[in-house]
Chain A
Amino acid sequence: MINRLPFYLFVAALVLVGVALSLYRHSVYGVPWFPGEQREQWEIEARIEFTANGDPAKVAMAIPNDQQNFILTDESSSSQGYGVAILEQKEQRKAEWSIRSAEGQQLIYYKARFLADADAQYQIRPPSKPRPQYLEDVRQTAALSMLQDAMKRSADNPTLARELIRQLNDVQNQNAALLLNSMNREDALVSLLSMEAVPARTVATLMLEDGRRRQSVQPWVQVWDEQKEQWQLFNPRTGAEGKPDNLLIWSLDYQSLLDVIGGRQSDVSFSMIAQDISPETATREKIEANDLLNFSIHSLPVEEQAMFKTIMLIPVGALLVVFLRIIVGLKTSGTFMPVLIAVAFVQTELVPGIIGFLLIVGTGLMIRSYLSRLNLLLVARISAVIIAVIMIISVFTVVAYRVGLLEGLSITFFPMIILSWTIERMSILWEEEGAKEVFVQGGGSLLTAVLVYLAMTSELVRHLTFNFVGLQLIILALILLLGNYTGYRLSELRRFRHLAQD
């Protein structure tokens, strides 16, 4: 018999270190055990990229300020060798980076921290009346006729804007079609409103969603409401009115978001993550950020943090799979395939995800059964299945888009190669062992994927895994212990139940 003592000591050590790290994070950094007790804090990072010409370079980017529902608590920038200044021009704040000479690929990061706060105080400056913009002949006539119609059906500025958006989004409206031929929705709306001397502007916004990376800004339109003395926000694409709680206005001028002199191919993208910290800790953490014992991933750039938010969830998925296989004895096709499917579900949401999965695998199986009659070599056949899967995905995406099912678009998040292998294995299983086994294993995989998804999207699990790295050690210890479990699986109790009778 091998001596098991060192093993159990090791596991105990893992648990101890894990617990100690978690306690440390809780007591010293004040990270709460449960999510939602605290206010939400957002960290948003802009990543500016451009190719410098070798001359002096100057980069100006609009940066956000306090606004409805958000207070700016902290901002910082990291840019090697650049001088930085923050300028306040009227309402719009700008960050400016400059350098005497720069060559090649340049990277500049700007990071802002916002505290979600329903009673946030912010400044509003009443705008001056805009000068009406004129369009040339035909389009001017079209614009005037749209306005005439909209004026009749509206009472004030916001209702006028609402009417105009309705017309712009009406595919039957020929006047709108004429305008949209040469300008985009938001510009058309602002021009139209200016003809009635209604102040309006296109702003650059970000929809804040935890863990999103490489996002770009979306144009929304602000229309001045004279009665309430404030700006009213519109989504020109859907006509949605008012500011969603998780919408952040990054710049008040959509056009001049980024301005680069002395460089080419400039681009800016955004990453964001949410954290639950109390305001006092927000300040304290900043002081202690350089502490070596700060074992958190929170010192990384936001883009990497966002990535880790998902990565940290994978061990939870693995633990669940280990549990379902060793303790429950569930059959799945491919050991960790369900985890990958669950990761896709996180992107697609559950119901569209399950429907998408069933559609792809179902259609794939039908196509595969045709391929099986063609007598192809295996590698060619798998490749054909991959292409079929890609085509299924494109067809479903286009159809979903056409019928207005925006959820359908997320089907592209499925890992295609893995799905193709799943289809191939299931199809063989079907031929060899019949439909029943396909449903047993397919159902097992789907069930596992759904359970893993539920664990991965649970607020509590996300909060704990991201904020307490020590938990990973405890998960590892649990997996090691499960690897030593020699008792019966639940499925075996059923299988061997006849043997328990006399």
Chain B
Amino acid sequence: MKQLFRNIRGFIELPKKLRQRGILGMNQRNHSYIGRYNDRSKYPLVDDKLKTKQIAQQAGATVPELIGVIESQVHVKEIHDLVADWPGFVIKPAQGSGGKGILVITSHQDGRYTKPSGAEVSREDVERHITNTLAGLFSLGGKNDVAVVENLIEFDDSFADFSYEGVPDIRVIVFHGYPVMAMMRCSTASSDGKANLHQGAVGVGLDIATGKAVRAVQFDHPVSHHPDTQRPLDQLVIPDWEQLLVLAASAWEMTGLGYIGTDMVLDKSRGPMVLELNARPGLAIQTANGTGLLPRLQKIEALKQQGISHNTPEERVAVSRELFAS
């Protein structure tokens, strides 16, 4: 009885505690950040991965090489010739999100395509995947879409065993151009070569000052080791951290969106690159870091109110690293 009473009390006090820790909820994110700082007319820039690639390149950022774009049903069969000279590639819907419709192929031979898990798919399977993509099955609102084919990223050796069968990506929330929180997302057997958290990837919170792991979660539950490789996750340190943060911070200049999530990868040979930008980044980054976004967002809002502004990504990164060191 007493136990039950305590449980109920704990539940009632939960909102207050979460508020004290500055946890950002979905409603507040939509209303006070996305709705307020993201101009709708700029959404197409980030909702379309082709456009994102373009603006990122114009801004001088590196992006995964584009192998080609398949725009209509008649060209679907050309995919096999298109990728003939590329050992590995990825097909994704230009307007997809959340890892939907992303087909990662690590190698292929004589019309047999191999996924990161080792599973094989046939020529027909690949063609069907593109057909579905074109019909808008994976895209926002089910609109017709195009299929983007890009080079497979070979991830940096320092990430070996932190990610299983897939490229880990680094998500940084950038508010008014200041990186406020970061995590690395490592794919697992259940996430099928994609590093999207709700598909089962592990999220590792990163210290903004150093790029070192602070904590890790899978499906919002704390974990200490990678579930497939058993590598302790607290050993993770991101190389080229400063460079990555600057790349993330420059997304502000690229898009003009106030509240965005930048997805980046570290390629073995070509270094940090922008994978995609997100106008509605998820909240799981808070669980991965074990801390709330609100206080950090409010610090930046306070800076703005005092009329302080920093015009280059480098300056803003420096400010963030000082403000948000954990």
Residues in A lying within 8 Å of B, measured CB to CB? 326, 329, 375, 377-379, 428, 432-433, 483-489, 492-493, 495-500
Q: Does B15 contact A (CB under 8 A)?
A: yes
Q: Are A488 and B18 also in contact (CB < 8 A) when A378-B132, A496-B287, A499-B290 are?
A: yes
Cross-chain contact of B23 among A378, A428, A496 (Cβ < 8 A): A496
Minimum distance in angstroms from A158 CB to a CB of chain B: 62
Residue contact B25 to A428, C-beta cutoff 8 Å:
no
Selected A-B contacts with CB under 8 Å, 20 pairs: A375-B124, A375-B127, A377-B131, A433-B199, A485-B27, A486-B31, A487-B25, A487-B27, A487-B28, A488-B15, A493-B11, A493-B14, A496-B18, A496-B287, A498-B220, A498-B222, A499-B287, A499-B290, A500-B14, A500-B21
Does B203 lie at the interface of the complex (its beta carbon under 8 Å from any beta carbon of A)?
no
Question: Taking the complex as formed, is B292 at the interface, i.e. its CB lies under 8 A from any CB of chain A?
Answer: yes
B189 contacts chain A at the CB level, 8 A cutoff: no
* 15 extra A-B contacts, CB within 8 A, seeds A488-B23, A499-B292: A377-B73, A377-B135, A378-B131, A486-B27, A486-B28, A486-B31, A487-B15, A487-B27, A493-B11, A493-B15, A493-B18, A496-B23, A496-B286, A498-B220, A499-B286
Interface residue? B128 (CB, 8 A): yes
Question: Contacts of A379 on B, CB cut-off 8 Å?
Answer: 135
| Residues of B contacting A499 in the complex (Cβ-Cβ under 8 angstroms) | 18, 21, 23, 286-287, 290-292
Q: Is B6 in the interface zone, CB < 8 Å from A?
A: no
Chain B positions 285-326 with a Cβ under 8 Å from a chain A Cβ: 286-287, 290-292
State the CA gap A158–B15 with chains docked (Å). 70
- A499–B18 Cα distance when bound, in Å, is 7
The reply on B26 being an interface residue by CB < 8 A is yes
By the criterion CB–CB under 8 Å, are B25 and A486 in contact? yes
* Interface size range on B against A: 35 or more
Q: State A329–B28 Cα separation when bound (angstroms).
A: 13
Tell me which residues across on chain A come within 8 A of B225, comparing CB atoms. Answer: none
Complex Cα spacing A484 to B28, Å? 9
Chain A residues lying within 8 Å of B198, measured Cβ to Cβ, are 433
CB distance from A421 to the nearest CB of B (A): 9
Cα–Cα distance between A326 and B128 once the two chains are bound (Å): 37
Closest residue of chain A to B305 (Cβ to Cβ) is A1
In whole Å, how far is A208's beta carbon from the nearest beta carbon of chain B? 43
| Residue pair A500, B221 in contact (C-beta under 8 Å) | no
Question: At the interface, yes or no: B32 with Cβ under 8 Å from chain A?
Answer: yes
List, in ascending order, chain B residues with CB within 8 A of A377's CB. 73, 131, 135
B17 at the interface (CB under 8 A from A): yes
Chain B 125-139 near chain A by CB (<8 Å), digits 1 or 0: 001100110011110
Most buried by B among A484, A487, A488, A497: A488
Complex Cα gap A375–B132 (Å)? 9
**For A433, A483, A486, A489, which residue has the most chain B Cβ atoms within 10 angstroms?**
A486
- Inter-chain CA distance A432–B290, complex, in Å, is 28
Q: Which residues of B contact A484 (CB under 8 A)?
A: 31
Chain A residues with Cβ below 8 Å from B136 are: 378
Residues of A within 8 A of B231 (CB): none
Does B100 make an interface contact (CB < 8 A)?
yes
Question: With the chains together, A493 CA to B21 CA distance in Å?
Answer: 13
Q: Mark B173-215, 1 if CB is under 8 A from A, else 0.
A: 0000000000000000000000000110000000000000000
A493 contacts across to B, CB distance below 8 A: 11, 14-15, 18
Measured CB to CB, the closest approach of chain B to A386, in angstroms, equals: 15
User: B26 near A329 (CB under 8 angstroms)?
Assistant: yes
B135–A432 CB distance below 8 A:
no
Chain B residues whose CB sits within 8 angstroms of the CB of A488 once the complex forms: 15, 18, 23, 25, 27
> Are B222's CB and A500's CB within 8 A?
no
Residues of B within 8 A of A326 (CB): 27
Shortest beta-carbon distance from B210 to chain A in Å: 22
Docked Cα-Cα span, A496 to B282, in Å, equals: 13
Q: Give residues 1-30 of B contacting A (CB, 8 Å).
A: 11, 14-15, 17-18, 21, 23, 25-28
Chain A min CB distance to B12 (Å):
10
Query: How distant is B121 from chain A, measured CB to nearest CB, in Å?
Result: 13
Residues B26 and A378 in contact, CB atoms below 8 Å apart: no
Contacts of B127 in A (CB 8 A): 375
Chain B 248-294 interface residues, beta-carbon cutoff 8 Å to A: 283, 286-287, 290-292
Contact in complex: A375, B25 (CB < 8 Å): no
CB-defined contacts of B287 to chain A, threshold 8 Å:
495-496, 498-499
When distances are taken between beta carbons in the complex, the residues of chain B under 8 Å from A375 are 124, 127-128, 131
**Residues of B close to A497: CB separation below 8 A:** 14
The interface residues of chain B lying within 8 Å CB-to-CB of A487 are 15, 25, 27-28
For the complex of A and B, list the 9 residue pairs with the smallest distance between their C-beta atoms, beginning with the closest: A378-B135, A486-B28, A500-B17, A488-B25, A375-B128, A493-B14, A486-B31, A486-B27, A492-B25
- Which residues in window 24-56 of B have CB below 8 A to A? 25-28, 31-32
Which B residues lie within 8 Å of A492 (CB)?
A: 18, 25-26, 283
Q: In the complex, what residues of A have CB within 8 A of residue B25's CB? A: 486-489, 492
Give Cα A326 to B25, complex, Å: 11
What is the minimal beta-carbon distance from A327 to any residue of chain B, in angstroms?
9
In the complex, residue of chain B having the shortest beta-carbon distance to the beta carbon of A424? B137
* Cα–Cα distance between A499 and B198 once the two chains are bound (Å): 18
Q: How far is the CA of A495 from the CA of B28 in the complex (A)?
A: 16
From known contacts A497-B14, A499-B292, infer whether A489 and B128 are also in contact, taking CB-CB under 8 Å.
no
Q: How far is the CA of A459 from the CA of B162 in the complex (A)?
A: 59
Name A495's contact: one of B15, B21, B128, B220 (CB within 8 Å).
B220
CA distance A326 to B23 in the complex (A): 17
Docked Cα-Cα span, A205 to B49, in Å, equals 65
Contact (A486, B137) CB under 8 Å given A498-B222, A498-B287, A500-B17? no
Distance in angstroms between the alpha carbons of A466 and B18 in the assembled complex: 42
- Closest-by-CB residue of A relative to B99 is A432
A375-B15 Cα distance, complex, nearest whole Å? 48
Chain A residues closer than 8 Å to B27, beta-carbon distance: 326, 485-489
In the assembled complex, the Cα of A31 lies from the Cα of B127 at a distance in Å of 65
Cα separation A495 to B14 with both chains bound (whole Å): 11
CB distance from A492 to the nearest CB of B (A): 5
Cα distance A488–B22 in the bound complex, in angstroms:
11
CB distance from B295 to the nearest CB of A (A): 13
CA separation between A485 and B31, bound complex, in Å?
A: 8
By the criterion CB–CB under 8 Å, are A432 and B100 in contact? yes
CB neighbours (8 Å) of A498 from chain B are 220-222, 287
Cross-interface CB contact of A428 among B18, B26, B131, B137, cutoff 8 Å: B137
| Docked CA distance A168–B285 (Å) | 73
CA distance in complex: A409, B47 (Å):
45
Q: Chain B nearest CB: distance from A328 CB in Å? A: 11
How near does chain B come to A2, taking the closest CB pair, in angstroms?
Answer: 8
Q: Which residues of A contact B290 (CB under 8 A)?
A: 499
CA distance A488 to B15 in the complex (A): 7
Question: CB-CB < 8 A to A378: which residues of B?
Answer: 131-132, 135-137
| A486 partner residues in chain B, CB cutoff 8 A | 25, 27-28, 31-32
Q: B124: which A residues are within 8 A, CB to CB?
A: 375
User: Across the two chains, which residue of chain A brings its CB closest to B22?
Assistant: A499
Docked complex Cα distance between A6 and B21 (Å) = 32
CA distance A497 to B13 in the complex (A): 11
How would residues 206 to 243 of chain B score, 1 for a CB under 8 Å from any chain A CB and 0 otherwise? 00000000000000111000000000000000000000
Cα separation A287 to B100 with both chains bound (whole Å): 64
CA distance A379 to B73 in the complex (A): 13
CA distance A353 to B221 in the complex (A): 38
Point out which of A326, A485, A495 has the most chain B C-beta atoms below 10 A from its C-beta: A495
- State in angstroms the CA–CA spacing of A495 and B18 once bound together: 11
